[in-house]
Amino acid sequence: MAPHAIPQDLSIGASSNGSAARDPSVFVDAPNVKYEANQILSEYVYENAHVIQSNDRLIVRPTKSAFEFKTETHVRRTGLMMIGLGGNNGSTLTATIVANRSKTTFQTKNGLQESNYYGSVTQSSTLKLGIDAQGKDVYVPFSQIVPMVHPNDLVIGGWDINSANLANAMSRAKVLEYDLQRQVSKELSQIKPLPSIYYPDFIAANQSDRADNLIPGNDKSAHLEHIRKDIRDFKQKNRLERVVVIWTANTERYADVIPGVNDTADNLLEAVKSSHAEIAPSTIFALACILEGVPFINGAPQNTLVPGCIELAEQKRSFIGGDGAFLYLDFMLTPDFKSGQTKIKSVLAQFLVDAGIRPLSIVSYNHLGNNDGKNLSAPQQFRSKEISKASVVDDVISSNQILFNDKVGKNVDHCIVIKYVPAVGDSKVAMDEYHSELMMGGRNTISMHTVCEDSLLASPLIIDLVVVAELFSRVQYRSKGETEWKPFYSVLSVLSYWLKAPVTRPGTDVVNGLNKQRACLENLLRAFVGMAPANEMKLEEKSMNMEK
């Protein structure tokens, strides 16, 4: 078949400020892909295998399903509203965006530093596109496959229980270099968080001295309407086409999941009307977003998305990401930004199990001195964090019935310690020990010591969550032969790469393995432009008679 004519102008994804540098530079020349004025249409065959247990034999039946994808190429003018805007993550991210917009350079003890988005997958990583004529791998920036919003174009706003403007919040956080703070301070001083919801029972008592910027009263229904109006006003004032809301505030305690209260959408809405004690602030925000059709992502390890919340999102076809209250392996799964120690844990545990080595225990110790650490010094808030950290290796363990079975056991001893040490500030100290069983009863211990700047790892993840959530709001699919286009399922499990223990569709397995999550993300992007999953077989090098 003759190759398609390659368009001379690929500026199909220009953001609202006309920044052509953010357009995709990849054109897929294939009969199953069409680049139209406002959309990319692709046909895709999804191949998998259905496995049936028959006595002692596993019968494998390969399957094929034909899908079509439609990706709108107009990148919407997008606003990011953060709950916890004045916290370390919120102030750090806002200052970083301001600095990148103006290409700010600043002095550090290591010399002159240029602003960048290191740590962001969408802004600073690449993916393999294919091979060139010499058989060498070709990589492109992650954001060049399909049009994506650029963080420089985000309009920032949000809520906080503390009234400090963003310049003062940035100074209080002590994350960024002084010379950078000095240069962005004027612009940040103009940004002040909206009043937020404060239910003292849900966060540590040591946070009460910061709570001077509150929506008044105890009527949770009124609070819900207040937040909905804040979102509408922010969208209208800034002439936005899309708003994404992220919880990056303090960790809450777990809310009890109570039949008749928060187990269904109707019960949850009635419980809000009666201001039931087990309706958390984060759940109020999630409900406001769902009712406004705004994507909501929970970036803290509490069970914000109780079953009633997820049911309502399904009904409204509104995107949510983060945690949930579904029971797996005897405890609830929760979210939390997967920034440093947990990301390494998901990789190292996978490495050990894939190598046929049996992990026996994983012990993780942390101490940190930022406000997150202060809040986590309270037992109920620590418990939320402990669960999110502990659950990240569960699917890795369940994947290998040779190493983990009824005879030798199906669990790994998992101990997590978090201590608040004010002196270290935002530089979190982590120490990990992986104790494993080798062949013939041998033992192996891997010990790691990490010091990381917590907010400089977490803030780029917020960028990725917003960018990918906005992208998926522009993608629809249908099975081959269907006429109706559909959005993706409300729970955006594709965001799992950036969350410690994300919720997924009820009845399906959670995937925590980092490599699997990354492969899923890459291959979905490839599917949107009609490309097959990434292939590392390298048959071009292994076969003597195979055409390149």
3-class secondary structure for 365-423? EEEECCHHHHHHCCHHHHHHHHHHHHHHHHHHHHCCCCCCECCCECCCEEEEEEEECHH
User: Residue 252's closest CA among 205, 211, 300, 213?
Assistant: 300
Q: Residues 437, 384, 489, 248: is their CA dihedral positive or negative?
A: negative
Helix (H, G, I), strand (E, B) or coil at 184: helix
Distance of CA 171 to the CA centre of its chain: 27
Annotated active-site residue 428? The verdict is yes
**Residue at token pair 């808030």:** 381
Contact 283, 258 (CB under 8 A): no
Annotated active-site residue 336? The verdict is yes
Q: Which of 192, 338, 374, 428 is catalytic?
A: 428
Q: Which of 235, 345, 385, 389 is catalytic?
A: 385
* CA 347/CA 518 separation, integer angstroms: 11
Contact 172, 209 (CB under 8 A): no
Q: Residues 317, 320, 321, 324: is their CA dihedral positive or negative?
A: negative
Annotated active-site residue 516? The verdict is no
* CA 413/CA 354 separation, integer angstroms: 19
Q: Which of 345, 374, 389, 500 is catalytic?
A: 500
* CA 23/CA 12 separation, integer angstroms: 7
Task: Determine phi and psi for 447, rounding to 5 degrees.
Answer: -115, 140
Longest CA pairwise span in the chain (Å): 76
Length of the chain: 548
Q: Which of 160, 336, 395, 426 is catalytic?
A: 336
What residues contact residue 512 under an 8 Å CB cut-off, 6+ apart? 346, 391, 392, 393, 394, 395, 396, 496, 500, 501
Where in 84-136 does DSSP place strands (E)? Answer: 105-108, 111-114, 126-131
Sheet of strand 413-420: strand arrangement: 413-420, 358-368, 427-437, 443-453
Distance of CA 62 to the CA centre of its chain: 32
Count CB neighbours of 178 within 10 A: 12
Annotated active-site residue 174? The verdict is no
* CA 137/CA 539 separation, integer angstroms: 13
What residues contact residue 330 under an 8 Å CB cut-off, 6+ apart? none
* CA 110/CA 177 separation, integer angstroms: 11
| DSSP code for 337 | B
Catalytic residues: 336, 385, 428, 500
